[in-house]
Structure formats: C-alpha cells, structure tokens
Structure 1
C-alpha cells in the first residue's frame, strides 16, 4: 500500500471518527448507518464507505464542523479521494488507471482519433454483397475487433472487484443481497438524500433531484443500448435475421431510445458538474471524470447521427467516428469512471450483507 493511500485513509478515518461522534447526518445516505456499526475503522471499512458514497454533498452543507471550523470536515472530498484511489489501486494494470484519471481528456481524444483512423482504413476491406453498415465493414471483421475489446477490459475489472471484495470483507452472495442492491441502484436511492429532495450538488443549500435523474437517464440509456446490441446478436445468430433492421424493430427501438436518454443525461451531468464546487470531490481527477461523461455522450450522439445519415455518403465518415468512440469506451472501461458502476454495485451488495449480519 502506497504512502499516498495511507495518507488518504488516515484523513478519511479522522473525519469519520468525528462524524461518528456527532451523528447529525445519519439520515442522509447509506454511508452513515454503515458508519455507526463501527467503533474503529479498518482500511477495508473506509474503502467500503467511500464506494457507498454518491458524493451528493448534503452532509457537507449540513455540517457544523465544515470549514472554517478548526475540524475542517469535508467528508465528500475525503471519501472521493479514497474512492478514486481504490479504483486506481485495485484495478489492473494500475498505471493506466492513474494516467487516465489525471489526463483523461487528452487520452480520450487521442484514443478516439487513433481508433477512428484505424477503422477508417479498415472499412476499405468492404464485404462483398453486404448491406447497410456491413457494406463498409464485414460482420465477422467487426466482431473480431470489438469482442476482444469488450471482454479483455472485463477481465481487468474482475481482478479489481476480486481485490475489493477481499479488502472490504464481502461474503457469499444470496438472492436477498442482490435484490436489495439492484433495487437501490435502480432507484438511485442514495442520490435522493434521506429526505427525498435530492442532493446539494449545485452548491450550497439547494436540494435537487436533477443529478439523480441525469444518472438514471444515463444508466437506463446505456442498458437499453446494450440490450439493443444483445437482441441484434440473437436475431443475427439464432434467427438468421442479419442487420439492417427496420425502424420498428427491437434493436432499433431499444437503441434509439437508449441513445436519446444517454445524450440528455450526459448533457445534464456536464451542466451540473460545471456548476458544482470542485473542492467537494477529487479535484485531481476532474478532467478524467469530464472526459468520461463526454465520451458517453459522444458515443450516443454519433450513433444517433449515424442512423439519421443511413443511406448517404456521410456514413463512410460517421461510421468510423461512432465505432471509434465505442471502441474507446470499451478499452477505457477499467480505467475511466465507468468502473465506479461495478464498484458501487459491489458496495451496495456488501451493504446488504452487513444489514443482515
């Protein structure tokens, strides 16, 4: 464990001990009920609470010990630093995770440009007799490129989650754990605040559910797009119904609705992030977080524009742009903020286990 990690954990521990003595904010989110189960905080306990924290910031604006008080409590920032460090430390390989989070915009732009250029060259290997997008890139070639780019990052994420599970004391999972965790994730319960009015992400005493709704739009939009690809795969291989598909078909309806939700959600997340106080999060990785949001939005937007341009000469340029953003999103999955979804769901499952203990 690095010196930096120890320093982050020690500061979070100091603040949690003060919070645990006060307990004024125990109704805000799942962090505070979990905090009250402990008298002393092991490193794994702190990492668990850091990944339970959704950075809604309600506790900061309600805290009587926040700056300029001598205690200098800023629990959202302290937990954000530990949470960020847990991803960078546990996900393999570590140097790539730290590099993206600190220089995310540049890395994203370079990788999108590189993959777009590669795919622009690849589409010259056009399939014979293909229709739709397959006229530009053969189906088997597309699978050969994207399947490893999707599966290999999942291996990296799995390594990180295995380490996180051991660190935080995760146990054998039962159905009740999954039901509780997925219900919380589906409702974005911890972004609603203990009072149901949302969080204070927009600065000061302004409770709003805007961030919660934006996250829900992105999450459900992404799931719809993933479902679109999955359904299309089943139709292609099991039903011998290759693309292109008409507008009123399951792949198109799922993909278009998911793309619209992702564009709307990422747009609102960018607006809120620009208005928020960067000192209540991990300022060091602001660029990496913004890069990830931009990449999600760009992936959805280029997909919608590509569909609108179907049958035109613009497809030859738009297709490598869209596929380049998708490929970049896959390749950066373990190192961008997308990994937080895996860690947060794991934290919610472990939280359900601790409730039953």
Structure 2
C-alpha cells in the first residue's frame, strides 16, 4: 500500500459520512446516489466512489460545509487523492506511477528526447528500404520496437484492473452492465454534473459544458487515430497494401480528422486546467496530468506536421520526433493519466452492477 493510503481513506470516509447525512447534493452526479447505498464505507467502497467521481466540482461550490466551516469538506480533492492513490497502488509496478504523476513533465520530455535521438541514429546507421516512411525506418524494425512497447504496458494495466475489481466488489459482467457503462462514457454524462446543465470545473459557481466537450474531442480524436492505425495494419497484412496510403483511404481520413480533434481537445483541456482551482483536485499530481495532455497534443501535432512535410527534407527529424512521442505514450501508459480511462470505465461497469443488486 502507499504510505499515506490509510490517512487518505480515513479523511475521505469522514467527509463522505458527513455528505451522506446531509444529502443536499444527492442529484448532482453518479457519486451521490451511489453514496446513499451505504451507512458505513469500507475502503473498497471509497475507491469505487473516487473512480466514479469525474471531478466536476459542483458539490464543492454548492456545499455549506466547506472551509471556513469546522467540517472543512472538500469532496473533490478528497476523492481525487483516493482515486490517484488507487491507480498508484494497483497498477504494476506501482513505484513508477507515483514517480510519473509527481514529476511527469520532466520524465516525459526526457523520454521523448531520448527516443527521438534513438530513431535519428537508427536512420543514420540503418535506413529503411521501403516507400514513404519505411524509407527512413524499416517496417520490421518498427514492429519489433512498438509491439512489445504497446503490449507489455497493457499487462501492468490489466494487473491493476484485476486488483481494483477485487477491492471494489466487481462481479461477472453482463451485457446490461456494458451497455450502461459504455453509454455513460460515450456521452460523458458525469462531466455534465449529472443534471445536464454542465459542471463547475473552471467557472466556480457557474455551469459549463466546456470540459465535457473538450474531453469528447480528445477521446473521439484518439479513437479515430487508433482506428487509423488499426485500418493501416489490416490493409498491410490482409490486403497486402503497405503504406503510403492515398488521402481518401481509411488511415488518412481517420488519422487527419482524429489528429485535428486531439489538438483542439488537448489545447482546450490545458487551458481549462490552467483556469481551474488546483485545491479542488490532487494538487501533487497537477504536473503529471498536464504532462499527459501535452504529450497527447505533441503526438497529434507531430503527426499532422509529418503528413504536411511529406516529400521534404524535414521528414526524418519529424518522423523521429513523432515516433518518440508515440513510443513514450505507450511506455508510460500504465502510469500516466491515460490509466484513468480504464479505471473510470471499470467503475461505471461496477456501478451498473451495484444498481441491480
């Protein structure tokens, strides 16, 4: 366990018990109706509520017991700390998660720079022999590097999810659980405060859907880019159609549209985060969260720049940098903010199960 886990759990338990007695915020988001099922909160219950929380902050701006009241409630920060701790405890190996979240910007920049230098050196010593980007780095070389860098981190995520599932009381998954959870995730309903008027993330006591829309742009942009990579893989191996691909092909259509959405969503999220109150979140990991957003923007922006520079002398440097950002993303996946998507979806599935008990 993390050295401060008992203290985090105890403080979150104290605040949740006060909230459960008050119930003024009962209709705000999924956390509060879920909270009312319990009279006492085990550690697993608190971890579940923490990952169900989307940090919309509406409860804090509506609460009569925030400081300077003697109860000193700060539910968004308390649950953010427990949520962060749950990722750090469960994902394997745990020490790497804490290191990235607390020093993420430095770790990310150093890793991207090192990988970029590696690919530049690789191109200088053993250039590829194919067409397009494969003229700079051979296809088999890319597969040999990226396949383990993508698959092995997923093992760390899977271990973390199994541990989290056990701690929070997850059961055998039914189709209804998946339908409800994926429907909520697709709409990002909880980022609208649960009441459809928006959340209070960056505007204090005013509602706004800006954060939900920015998250949607980032999420759907990322999924489109993943679809572009998947389409290119299928075309290469099943249709014997290697890159480069024309502008009308699925890899290009999905990749360009996804890249634009990722850049817009990432810049928007970063601006909102700069305007939000850091005391209503896990302050110690602010840098790691911002580093993750910056990395996603760099991936998309370098990919778009690389496409625009096709046929010019800038391709080797841009390709090395783009590969550096993508490989850094894969390697850091279990310990970066990316892991929140896996845990949040698990929390939504478990919540669907708990509703039916």
TM-score, with length taken from structure 2: 0.99
Superposition pairs of residues 209-220 of structure 1, within 5 angstroms: 209-220=209-220
- SS in structure 1 opposite 2:333? coil
Matched, 1:263 2:260: no
1:109-164 CA distance string (max 9 Å, x none): 10000111111111231222x11100001111111111100000000000000000
Q: Is the 8 A contact 1:235 1:241 kept in 2?
A: yes
Q: Name which of structure 1's ranges 322-331 and 189-198 shifts more when overlaid on structure 2.
A: 189-198
Superposition pairs of residues 64-75 of structure 1, within 5 angstroms: 64-75=64-75
Number of the residue aligned with 1:127: 128
Q: Is the 8 A contact 1:203 1:277 kept in 2?
A: no
Number of the residue aligned with 1:274: 274
d(CA) in 2 for partners of 1:93, 1:103: 17
- SS in structure 2 opposite 1:123? helix
Number of the residue aligned with 1:141: 141
Matched, 1:194 2:175: no
Q: Is the 8 A contact 2:30 2:194 kept in 1?
A: no
1:228-270 CA distance string (max 9 Å, x none): 0001000000001100001111110000000000000000000
d(CA) in 1 for partners of 2:194, 2:246: 45
Superposition pairs of residues 172-321 of structure 1, within 5 angstroms: 172-321=172-321
d(CA) in 2 for partners of 1:80, 1:228: 33
d(CA) in 1 for partners of 2:184, 2:12: 25
- CA shift at 1:294, angstroms? 0.2
Q: Is the 8 A contact 1:88 1:97 kept in 2?
A: yes
Matched, 1:337 2:337: yes
- CA shift at 1:194, angstroms? 2.8
Q: Name which of structure 1's ranges 188-197 and 105-114 shifts more when overlaid on structure 2.
A: 188-197
Cα 1:328–1:2 shift into 2, 3 Å: closer
d(CA) in 1 for partners of 2:194, 2:338: 26
Matched, 1:10 2:10: yes
TM-score, with length taken from structure 1: 0.99
1:159-192 CA distance string (max 9 Å, x none): 0000000000000001000000000000001001
Instruction: State the 4+ residue runs in structure 1 displaced beyond 2 angstroms.
Output: none
Long gaps (5+) in structure 2: none
Number of the residue aligned with 1:28: 28
Matched, 1:108 2:108: yes
- SS in structure 2 opposite 1:173? coil
Q: Name which of structure 1's ranges 57-66 and 115-124 shifts more when overlaid on structure 2.
A: 115-124
Q: Is the 8 A contact 2:44 2:168 kept in 1?
A: yes
- CA shift at 1:283, angstroms? 0.4
Q: Name which of structure 1's ranges 200-209 and 285-294 shifts more when overlaid on structure 2.
A: 200-209
Q: Is the 8 A contact 2:29 2:195 kept in 1?
A: no
Q: Is the 8 A contact 2:116 2:323 kept in 1?
A: yes
- CA shift at 1:305, angstroms? 0.5
- CA shift at 1:316, angstroms? 1.0
1:54-105 CA distance string (max 9 Å, x none): 0000000000111111100000000000000000111111111000000000
State how many pairs are aligned.
356
1:255-294 CA distance string (max 9 Å, x none): 0000000000000000000000000000000000000000
d(CA) in 1 for partners of 2:269, 2:2: 32
Long gaps (5+) in structure 1: none
d(CA) in 2 for partners of 1:350, 1:229: 31
d(CA) in 1 for partners of 2:119, 2:352: 44
- SS in structure 2 opposite 1:117? helix
Cα 1:175–1:145 shift into 2, 3 Å: same
d(CA) in 2 for partners of 1:170, 1:63: 31
